[in-house]
Amino acid sequence: MPDTISLITRRASFKPQSVNTEERTVEVIWSTGAAVKRRDFDGAYIEKLSLDPKAVDLSRLNGASVLDAHRQSAVRDVLGTVRDASVDGKLGTATLQFSARPEVEPIWQDVTAGILRHISVGYTVEDWADSSDAGSRVRTAVRWTPHEISLVPSPADPGAHVRMEDTMPDTSPSTPEADAETQTRASLNRSQVNAEIRSIARVAGLDQTFVDDLIDREADADEARRAAFEALAKRSNANIRTEQIRVEIGESQDDPALRCRQMGEALYARINPRHDLSEPSRRYAYATPVDMAKELLTLRGDATTGLSPATLITRALHTTSDFPIILGDTVGRVLRDSYQAAPSGIRQLGRQTSARDFRSVNKIMLGEAPLLEKLNEHGEIKAGTMAEAREAYKVDTWARKIGITRQVLVNDDLGAFSDLARRMGQAAAETEARILVDLLESNSGNGPKLTDNKTLFHADHGNKAGTGAVISDATLSSARLALRTQKGIEDRTTRVTPKYLLVPPALETEAEKWLASVSPAKAADVNPFSGSLTLVVEPRLASATRWYVTADPGEIGGLEYAYLSGNEGPQVESKSGWDVDGVEIRVILDFGAGFVDHRGWFANAGA
């Protein structure tokens, strides 16, 4: 179970004292520059916001909208406006003025009561500074623009909240009795804060040193929560997560990776109606590429009013990296569906594995285990050895680039869009099958050379018919006998079990006859191969007469194919097109194959 930090609160501290009920304003801290865990296509990183006044452009925040959880699809989502936003190098602060509309009144009452107090800011970043900290990638926004402030269930920045301290000076006369009462109340409040600090440390699993440091500097509960959050983040423990991060991912609109996945899935669901669209992606269920381009530009702060669909697509392609990523995600989904559905007979006769890199994949085959020997009268157990052999092949990269034109996107022509992706998926599967067939039929049908400098099918290997012949009881029996009596590395019988009959399309009907189940009237009519072999038809085989009998690849090594580790199947990359007026999609396949043993395959040249 992952560790979870429960938010600890005190009712006495919830009611903000910076509220002005007459003007319907409240002071807020909208950023402390706290580190936030993010993820992009290069992996996890830590995001920081510079609060240097020179780094933050406040021109759009002063007078901007106060929103309900970053929603901006309708006027009803606007709760108020931002007044007097500023940064001082350590904090971003502002005064929020709430609307007097009847539907906003319940929210305003919760703010004044301290129930709604968490703040989140929506922003765009114009310039990043990349660095590292304790092995973690750090990206600091050194030129960025906040666009709006929202009330949220829980913020990414744990220090962003409605201010609770009293901003009005106390003008009441001072008396000894009042001073004593104030001191007593302060002492009680300090005791409560210290108790809460201890509770925070206990739940977060932090030691007494953490508690003592906060108490000594008279930190408040909010500061203690921020310190606990930072201490847990430094542990770099992937199993620790907080409620703040979980809520942020589910609700925030400023996570580009999440938004891209949702839009990509929604576009794929329009192409494939059988896809069960996830709940977060349903808001884009009927969105066209033009609709998505408009939203991405709006989130960047670009004005989109009055722009034509063609202009929206063009700007989205060249001013934001999100749009090509969304299209690439959709192409990848359709391509993988087609790739997995494409038929390939020979592929099921090989064993799949993975390669760590592009160097040769060396396969060591151990010989048979030594036979047990009877103990002599002294009880001595003799050591045995195992022989070994080695074969090798390597993974290569196969790639192609395709273009999706701007016209297809503007016209919302998902038929052409999906057809292109589907054909590329089929082409990737065809590439793999061609590699396997070419390998099998190399050297005039005798297969590749192995480390013994003999071809795969060779008389010395005992897996090649001396004379080509058609499929029959006699030839199938010879093939089965050859596999059953194969000798291992130490010249002992390996007892290979025939499993598949591989044929070209020209022999499919003939093969079906010899494998068919019949009800014989006499023993001579019994079909000995009924149900014992599985027919595999490979249309890419060049010879119309040659056929093969093979063992189960899980029983003994034979044909083996590998993908680069972590890149199984075709991979899709996308970017705005320069050679194409639209978006360019690269399909990359890291794939290789080889035969690691000859004992599981038998070939007959046919007649």
Task: Summarize pLDDT for 104-135 with one digit per residue, the tens.
Answer: 998 988 888 888 888 888 888 888 898 988 88
Q: Distance of CA 13 to CAs 185, 196, 539, Å?
A: 13, 12, 76
Interaxial angle between packed helices 256-271 and 289-299, expressed in degrees from 0 to 180 and rounded to the nearest 10 = 170
Q: Is the pLDDT of residue 249 over 60?
A: no
- Comparing 446 with 361, which gets the higher pLDDT? 446
Per-residue confidence (pLDDT) for residue 41, from 0 to 100: 66
* Domain locations along the chain: 3-167+177-234, 257-341, 439-604
Q: Distance of CA 11 to CAs 6, 114, 183, 193, Å?
A: 16, 9, 21, 12
- H or E segment to which residue 219 belongs: none
- Cβ contacts of residue 58 below 8 Å, gap of 6+? 85, 86, 87, 146
Q: Is the pLDDT of residue 56 over 80?
A: yes
Residue ranges of alpha helices (H) inside 235-364 are 243-251, 256-271, 289-299, 309-319, 322-341
Q: Is the pLDDT of residue 533 over 80?
A: yes
Q: Is the pLDDT of residue 546 over 60?
A: yes
Residue 486 in tokens = 């194969």
Per-residue confidence (pLDDT) for residue 536, from 0 to 100: 92
Assign 185 to helix, strand or coil. Answer: helix
Q: Is the pLDDT of residue 504 over 50?
A: yes
Q: Ranked by mean pLDDT, which of 118-127, 344-353, 436-445, 507-516 comes out on top?
A: 436-445
Please tell me the least confidently modeled range out of 21-30, 337-346, 390-399.
337-346
> What's the burial of 549, exposed, middle or buried (CB within 10 Å: 0-12/13-18/19+)?
buried
Q: Is the pLDDT of residue 448 over 50?
A: yes
Residue 502, phi then psi, degrees to nearest 5: -100, 125
Amino acid at 498: P
Asked whether 90 and 271 are in contact (CB, 8 A), the reply is no
Query: Residue 591: how many CB atoms within 10 A of its CB?
Result: 23
Interaxial angle between packed helices 221-234 and 176-204, expressed in degrees from 0 to 180 and rounded to the nearest 10 = 20
HSE, CB side, 13 Å, CA atoms: give it for residue 15. 7
- Residue percentage of the chain with pLDDT more than 90: 23
pLDDT band, very low/low/confident/very high, at 368 (cuts 50, 70, 90) = low
Give the residue-averaged pLDDT of 371-392: 62
pLDDT band, very low/low/confident/very high, at 159 (cuts 50, 70, 90) = low
Distance from C-alpha of 456 to C-alpha of 558, rounded to nearest angstrom: 10
Q: Is the pLDDT of residue 602 over 60?
A: yes
- Comparing 557 with 155, which gets the higher pLDDT? 557
Q: In which residue are the tokens 């009927």 written?
A: 286
b (16+ CB within 10 A) / e for 397-432: ebeeebebbbebbbbeebeebbebbbebbbbbbebb
pLDDT band, very low/low/confident/very high, at 370 (cuts 50, 70, 90) = low
| Rounded (to 5) percent helix, strand, coil in the chain | 35, 25, 40
Per-residue confidence (pLDDT) for residue 87, from 0 to 100: 92
Q: What is the pLDDT of residues 214-242, one digit of tens each?
A: 887 888 877 888 888 788 777 644 444 44
Q: Which of 465, 485, 460 is nearest to 476 (CA)?
A: 465
Amino acid at 277: L
Per-residue confidence (pLDDT) for residue 601, from 0 to 100: 94
Distance between terminal CA atoms of the chain? 65
Average pLDDT, the chain: 79
Per-residue confidence (pLDDT) for residue 253, from 0 to 100: 45
Distance from C-alpha of 9 to C-alpha of 7, rounded to nearest angstrom: 7
Q: What one-character DSSP code corresponds to residue 381?
A: P
Asked whether 561 and 436 are in contact (CB, 8 A), the reply is yes
Per-residue confidence (pLDDT) for residue 166, from 0 to 100: 38
Interaxial angle between packed helices 309-319 and 322-341, expressed in degrees from 0 to 180 and rounded to the nearest 10 = 90
Q: Is the pLDDT of residue 47 over 80?
A: yes
Q: Is the pLDDT of residue 202 over 80?
A: no
- Residue percentage of the chain with pLDDT more than 70: 79
Per-residue confidence (pLDDT) for residue 579, from 0 to 100: 67
Q: Is the pLDDT of residue 57 over 60?
A: yes
pTM of the model: 0.51
- H or E segment to which residue 164 belongs: none
Strand ranges (E), 134-234: 136-151, 161-162
Q: List Cβ<8 Å contacts ≥24 apart for 227-236.
A: 228/5, 228/200, 228/201, 228/204, 229/5, 229/34, 229/158, 230/34, 230/35, 231/204, 231/206, 232/5, 232/204, 233/35, 233/37, 233/46, 234/134, 236/134, 236/135, 236/136
Please tell me the least confidently modeled range out of 185-199, 329-343, 568-582.
185-199
Q: What is the DSSP string of 259-291?
A: HHHHHHHHHHHHH-TTS---GGGGGGTT--HHH
Per-residue confidence (pLDDT) for residue 407, from 0 to 100: 80
Give the residue-averaged pLDDT of 1-8: 38
pLDDT band, very low/low/confident/very high, at 388 (cuts 50, 70, 90) = low
Q: Is the pLDDT of residue 213 over 70?
A: yes
Give the residue-averaged pLDDT of 360-368: 64
